[in-house]
A and B are shown apart, each in its own frame.
Chain A
Amino acid sequence: MSAISREEVAHLARLSRLAVSDEELDRFAGQLDVILQAVARVGEVAAADIPPTSHSVPLTNVLREDVVGPCLTPAEALAGAPDVAENRFRVPRILDEEV
């Protein structure tokens, strides 16, 4: 039985904001199925009462002193942007015209 269908891969690609082509979908569906069946082995481990580890360093709430330090100028921050207008990042319209 396959772990993941072509339709599911298409749905996940949409959620991931990846406009994958039909050929890519065909290729990925089989490859991802092999990978997911292999990684599903984690389910063999009896771990119901085991706490999860998100991180190996036991540090929490790391804060710094509230002092002003060096930071980027607006020109530096915008230097790598694909499109800039009025000292800001310019983006395509957010809403569809019909909405």
Chain B
Amino acid sequence: MAEAKKKAAAAKKAPAKKAAKAPASTRADLVRATAAELARRLAAKEVSAVEVARAHLDRIADVDERVHAFLHVDADGALAAAAAVDEARARGEKLGPLAGVPVAVKDVMATRGVPTTAGSKILEGWRPPYDATIVTRMRQAGMVILGKTNMDEFAMGSSTEYSAYGPTRNPWDLARIPGGSGGGSSAAIAAYEAPLAIGTDTGGSIRQPGAVTGTVGSKPTYGGTSRYGLIAFSSSLDTPGPCGRTVEDTALLHAVIAGHDPMDSTSIPAPVPDVVGAARLGATGDLSGVRLGLVREFSGEGAEPGVVAAFREGVETLVKLGAEVVEVSCPHFVYALPAYYLIAPSECSSNLARFDGVRYGLRSGDDGSRALEEVMSLTREAGFGPEVKRRIIIGTYALSSGYYDAYYGQAQKVRTLISRDFAAAFEQCDVLLSPTTPFVAFPFGSRTSDPYQMYLADLYTIPTNLYGGPAISVPCGLSEGLPVGLQVMAPTMADDRMYRVAAALESVVPAAAPPAL
């Protein structure tokens, strides 16, 4: 980023009301607290929501020039929401469990009147006229939205290097990627800029950033969280979910956002599993009777040795807590990555047709001399980055007559076989385990020249998306000083199981903190 632009961005991000900057000691204490601790202290009136919001806004002003987790900081909106919570509490109103707790939101979720770009130039400056359902639920719960987080353009990528606004840097090592696509959300919580964040997971975009930043990332059951107001990439796979520094915090946010939404026709009309209760049960450190499945096909092929070692240590820890281990075979998982990179681009090529320069966003080349089709082509050329263009072209190819059966049609059949693999595995075990991602945070630029090398980051996370079940990434140690994540996959609508296992691991292996920024 050019120096001038950097300064402008920092100025824009600085909280509007600088007058009462919180004393540094209080601030460090507030930004390092878990969401559960903040909620307790807020409820006990030991601290006000405005103080909590201001501490986080100050922290963002201090470190985000280096981390670049945020694309937009809504200081005024956050302080107003926090003041409203404090007033409601003073009036004695009954408030939700996370009232007054700050949250950062991935820039792919629509926020009324607040810029929403999905990391793309084609939506630069767009202010949605409505809130996503998840955003509405967080507002109704009294949560304080700090701003919008950086991401790979339209959630396509595993490093945030495909953001049109420049990458986010990993708080563990600013020369390395924070994962993607939701690298901004995970980096924000790892850097103590927010206690909680919202991500979206189409092929691993919550879990992989969680793994490489040493935080928790949860992809709920598909249909368990509403997609209304989520800018669509691959509609049959996109799943919004919570990110946090602890399993309990992540579960608390899950409980706020999940549940049936009549505005989303794929939303499941069933009660939300008791994820908070499960996380608290797991934290007691007792896993007796729980059967863990190790997928033979994911036993470490293609993964870094340090990742495999940390994963195996995590599994041993879970066994010491009373869990049993069974080896299961999921023979079609090796075809998940190829199937995904046909299905997701196919759906994206259709979904992104809406960016045509007519109703919102950029319009390019409309000088009065050109017809609509040419203006559309110039608009999309100027507005989309390289990875989005590649995926649109692949999707168009896979859906074209002559190739449809061999590519998209065949990928959908493979999807059926992967779901059957999961169903068969869950007859032998309660959850499946794997490393979250084959490698720790990699240096910037090391996987952008060969796009397929980037796709391999999602090797272990993608089967879950094709099946539709829930999965969570929880820190399980370090490899060469960088965080490694352990993934727990559960059956559809059994999200509670993965929270229990993840919390049990966390009770023994608490997440390490990144070096001070």
A47 CB contact (under 8 Å) in B373, B414, B492: B414
- Chain B residues with Cβ under 8 A from A77's Cβ? 129, 359
Cα separation A50 to B281 with both chains bound (whole Å): 40
A62 CB contact (under 8 Å) in B265, B356, B455: B265
Cα separation A35 to B196 with both chains bound (whole Å): 35
Q: Does B351 count as interface, using CB distance less than 8 angstroms?
A: no
Cα separation A54 to B266 with both chains bound (whole Å): 12
0/1 interface trace, chain B 94-131, chain A, CB 8 Å (1 if under) = 00000000000000000000000000000000111110
0/1 interface trace, chain B 388-400, chain A, CB 8 Å (1 if under) = 0110111011001
B410 CB contact (under 8 Å) in A9, A24, A47: A47
Q: Does B342 count as interface, using CB distance less than 8 angstroms?
A: yes
| 8 A Cβ contacts from A11-31 to B | 12-21, 24, 27-28, 31
Contact-residue size bin, chain A (C-beta under 8 Å from the other chain): 35 or more
A45 touches B371 (CB 8 A): no
Given contacts A4-B397, A45-B413, A93-B371, contact A34 B450 (CB under 8 A): yes
Closest Cβ–Cβ distance, residue A35 to chain B (whole Å): 6
Interface-lining segment among B272-280, B294-302, B307-315, B379-387:
B379-387
Cα separation A72 to B131 with both chains bound (whole Å): 12
Cα separation A55 to B465 with both chains bound (whole Å): 10
The A interface is mostly helix, strand or loop, or mixed, namely loop
A94 touches B372 (CB 8 A): yes
A36 touches B397 (CB 8 A): yes
Given contacts A32-B393, A56-B492, A62-B265, contact A42 B130 (CB under 8 A): no
Interface-lining segment among B138-146, B362-370, B496-504:
B362-370
Residue of B nearest to A72 (CB): B129
Residue of B nearest to A47 (CB): B413
0/1 interface trace, chain A 26-70, chain B, CB 8 Å (1 if under) = 011001101110111111110100111111110100101000000
Q: Does B332 count as interface, using CB distance less than 8 angstroms?
A: yes
B381 touches A18 (CB 8 A): yes
Q: Does B15 count as interface, using CB distance less than 8 angstroms?
A: no
| 8 A Cβ contacts from B222-277 to A | 222-223, 236, 262, 265-266, 268
A55 CB contact (under 8 Å) in B130, B266, B337, B356: B266
Q: Does B468 count as interface, using CB distance less than 8 angstroms?
A: yes
Q: List 14 A-B contacts (CB under 8 A).
A: A9-B393, A16-B396, A17-B380, A18-B381, A28-B389, A31-B451, A35-B455, A39-B411, A42-B338, A52-B412, A56-B236, A59-B265, A62-B266, A81-B359
8 tightest A-B CB contacts, nearest first: A56-B468, A52-B412, A82-B363, A80-B360, A47-B413, A62-B265, A19-B377, A19-B381
